[in-house]
Structure 1
């Protein structure tokens, strides 16, 4: 039986429509995404506007003007190294290959936010005198970012603990073998620093065998006003 003219037209239009839907499915058009979601039940990929926005160093909210955004992550056991991020720049990480066992420290100008120095001090087998030489001559207003890795305290002596206390630390005097520690202090700080966390090494609560869990801390640090001459 031959198809009549109108029926032929209808069949042709149906074929064109199916071809369009198939092409969109294969090449990722909006129609294809909707069709794929309809048949598979998969969620449509969220648009950039739908995704939670992250700010500098992964903060969930932006810092106020004249503040520095930061994130510190202590090392995980003796396997994954620490991280120090400042103003969306990774200053210290395993990827940059500039971390080490002990205390990983970044010095930053508290007025300009400029990175001054980065060093690692082995607090298990190193010489604490190197740490003392690093901390003693700090200038007023220098910001000190610290992230521990593996063991931050075996070589720590009374003078080193006192120097960290003068930077605003409240836990340096008690810091012990394989504790996890993150800290931001400043030379000349009048009060104790609000940016400090410690996880004590304890067999009963350690996340890893022989080590506590890693610590993560972020926030916004106000820049100091320049000194009047």
Structure 2
């Protein structure tokens, strides 16, 4: 039989190009399928429990429940929610929140440099005669304390002893421009678990001349023994 005449050169080039594009497209589809399959396997294997935790409410932007003082969790009955934040350098003042009530803050304009102390019986403020004030605290009173700028320079041994009686473990080592947050109680028989202290150290300070601020939140029992 007679041979078919060869296709003109331009037509051959066009057919070759179409064949190459088709092959590349198939390869890309195969690679895409393999990639999607691998991603599905990884998510199914490693994120199975995580995906279970993502609910439709989260996707719809429903707000999570708010806890007292903006804490991460709520407190059980017979416990008080609190949050104490120390000052940041000598620029940002401290804040003390108790049972969702902000007792002290820069906004309330009742904080000052040094020690800022709030009592749950309503007495609060920046204490001038600190020694007399601490001595007069009634038994069973919760004491919330936050440092700002420098709280240690004017603190004598008697003041430190009073805070030790309130349950502090770190007041004895509190130094110049250290940051300190503390919750204790008058008549406490044991050391308070609610205390944080960070030293003023030029090598580790977050701010020039001051350490980073401290933040402490938790649930304090209504009766601390």
TM-score (norm 2): 0.71
Verify the 8 A CA contact 2:104 2:125 in the aligned structure 1.
no
- Written as runs of structure 1 = structure 2, the 5 A alignment for 1:4-153 is 47=60, 49=62, 51-108=63-120, 115-121=121-127, 130-153=129-152
Which residue is equivalent to 1:197?
196
How many Å apart are 1:53 and its aligned residue? 2.8
Segments of 4+ moved more than 6 angstroms: none
Q: Deviations over 1:149-180 (max 9, x none)?
A: 00010001000000000000001111010000
Verify the 8 A CA contact 1:53 1:60 in the aligned structure 2.
no
Which residue is equivalent to 2:22?
none
Hey, what's the Cα distance between the residues in 2 that align with 1:48 and 1:66?
33
Verify the 8 A CA contact 1:103 1:146 in the aligned structure 2.
yes
Q: Larger % of helix: which?
A: 2
Verify the 8 A CA contact 2:117 2:145 in the aligned structure 1.
yes
How many Å apart are 1:47 and its aligned residue? 4.3
Unmatched 5+ stretches in structure 1: 1-44, 109-114, 122-126
Hey, what's the Cα distance between the residues in 1 that align with 2:169 and 2:179?
14
1:163 match: secondary structure: helix
Unmatched 5+ stretches in structure 2: 1-57
Count the aligned residue pairs. Answer: 168
Is 2:190 aligned against 1:178?
A: no
Q: CA 1:47 to 1:68, structure 2 compared with 1: closer, same or farther past 3 Å?
A: farther
Larger Rg: 2
Which residue is equivalent to 1:154?
153
Verify the 8 A CA contact 1:104 1:149 in the aligned structure 2.
yes
